[in-house]
Amino acid sequence: MRLRPGLSVLWRGAGETQVGVDPRCSVLLRDLTPAEQRVLEALVRAPTEADLLRLGRSAGVAPERVRELIARLEAAQVLDPRARPAWPLAEPRPEEAYWSRLRPDGDGGAVLEARARASVGVVGLDRLGLTLAMGLADAGIGTVLLEDGAAVQESDVGPYHPRAVGGRRAEQAVGHLRSVHPHVRTSAPPGARPDVVVVVATAVADPVRLATLRRAAITHLPVVVGDVEVTVGPLVVPGQGPCTRCVDLHRTDADPAWPAVATQLLTAAPAPTEATLATLGAALAAQQVLAAVDGRAVAVAGATLTVDALGPLPALRGWSAHPGCTCATDGAAAGRQGGRTVADGATARRPAPTVASAGS
Ligand SMILES: [Zn+2]
């Protein structure tokens, strides 16, 4: 038997031992004898039950008591529920270990297997876009498709090397990503559909690009860097509102001049992204994409998360489908063809997306 990856056996004092720290994956055992505490400490070596019983016998702990302690650890879900080879154990990747601690079935490996099969596009490769792409690859996404025809600016340096300045963003980003993660695919076979496309933009996301994704029934996530804040969401799942057009229509209700303003913002020279906004926005977007890919609850489904460089806490705002938008009625048709999940979205039979691979 072994503990869930990363959990420690901690001596708190005479008679008290705790396993793990976070309340979601820990247990505190009291009224233990010194010998029982030693038996528990042996758990970090991933012993078999026979090993523990033998250790108990030599230390003077009865087999029934050893089994009782094991049962308490099992009930507290701090033991890895999976059957694993006893020793030697390959060190799990940090992501696998993390989800092994949190998932009831302890199977963090299944999370990584699904991520390895997933394909995520990132359109817009400024500081934020490249940081996001790297974060997705770090987290185990198997295919990361990158698109941006603009040149690397001085203000992109950080995730980009200063030597990359002047080169094409997509090529430089692919080179950087593959130098760190050589096994990540950066191109997809013709006709393959990404599970999610993240559209990173300054001031306002390109409505033509968003409409193309909507028509192709590809799950997409806008990330927009504003004057002082970055907004992530809503995640638009084919067949479900609200979509980005709904958000635009709500903004127009609040400010009738918004379409005129948005059109001008679209053609204005993009302002460089502040460093912490890039990091915070990329982290939020990566977390939400991974939630969608993993099949967990997505905070930005029908909502946006907004954060600025003043404070660490993002604000969550919910959006409703706008009565003037057709995504709700389109949804009835698309909903029959796909479902809520990214995987279902990927089965929809529609034309291939426009996310181009930047070569590999
Ligand atoms: Zn809509």
Average pLDDT, the chain: 89
- Integer Cα distance of 153 and 284 in angstroms: 24
Question: For residue 246, how far is its CA from the centre of ligand 1 (angstroms)?
Answer: 4
**Is the pLDDT confidence value at 43 over 80?**
yes
Question: For residue 170, how far is its CA from the centre of ligand 1 (angstroms)?
Answer: 30
**Is the pLDDT confidence value at 249 over 90?**
yes
- Integer Cα distance of 278 and 129 in angstroms: 8
Give alpha helix (H) positions in the chain: 34-41, 49-59, 63-75, 94-102, 108-117, 127-138, 169-180, 207-215, 244-254, 258-267, 275-294, 327-337, 342-347
For 39-45, what is the mean pLDDT?
94
For 210-238, what is each residue's pLDDT tens digit?
Answer: 999 999 999 999 999 999 999 999 999 98
> Residues 126, 200: contact at Cβ < 8 Å?
yes
User: What is the identity of the amino acid at 189?
Assistant: P
For 287-328, what is each residue's pLDDT tens digit?
Answer: 999 999 999 999 999 999 999 999 889 999 999 999 999 886
For 100-123, what is each residue's pLDDT tens digit?
Answer: 999 988 899 999 999 999 999 999
- Integer Cα distance of 238 and 183 in angstroms: 30
- Integer Cα distance of 27 and 78 in angstroms: 7
Question: For residue 245, how far is its CA from the centre of ligand 1 (angstroms)?
Answer: 5
Question: For residue 351, how far is its CA from the centre of ligand 1 (angstroms)?
Answer: 20
Question: For residue 144, how far is its CA from the centre of ligand 1 (angstroms)?
Answer: 27
Question: For residue 217, how far is its CA from the centre of ligand 1 (angstroms)?
Answer: 13
* Six-digit token string for 262: 């948005």
Query: Domains of the chain: which residue ranges?
Result: 9-92, 118-347
For 268-297, what is each residue's pLDDT tens digit?
Answer: 988 899 999 999 999 999 999 999 999 999
> Residues 127, 273: contact at Cβ < 8 Å?
yes
Question: For residue 260, how far is its CA from the centre of ligand 1 (angstroms)?
Answer: 19
Question: For residue 105, how far is its CA from the centre of ligand 1 (angstroms)?
Answer: 37
Model's pTM, two decimal places?
0.86
CA 140 from centroid of its chain's CA atoms:
9
pLDDT attached to residue 330: 65
Question: For residue 243, how far is its CA from the centre of ligand 1 (angstroms)?
Answer: 4
Question: Which numeric CATH code is attached to 118-347?
Answer: 3.40.50.720
Question: For residue 325, how far is its CA from the centre of ligand 1 (angstroms)?
Answer: 5
Question: For residue 81, how far is its CA from the centre of ligand 1 (angstroms)?
Answer: 44
For 121-173, what is each residue's pLDDT tens digit?
Answer: 999 999 999 999 999 999 999 999 999 999 999 999 999 999 999 999 999 99
- Integer Cα distance of 136 and 15 in angstroms: 44
Question: For residue 329, how far is its CA from the centre of ligand 1 (angstroms)?
Answer: 9
* Six-digit token string for 345: 């979205």
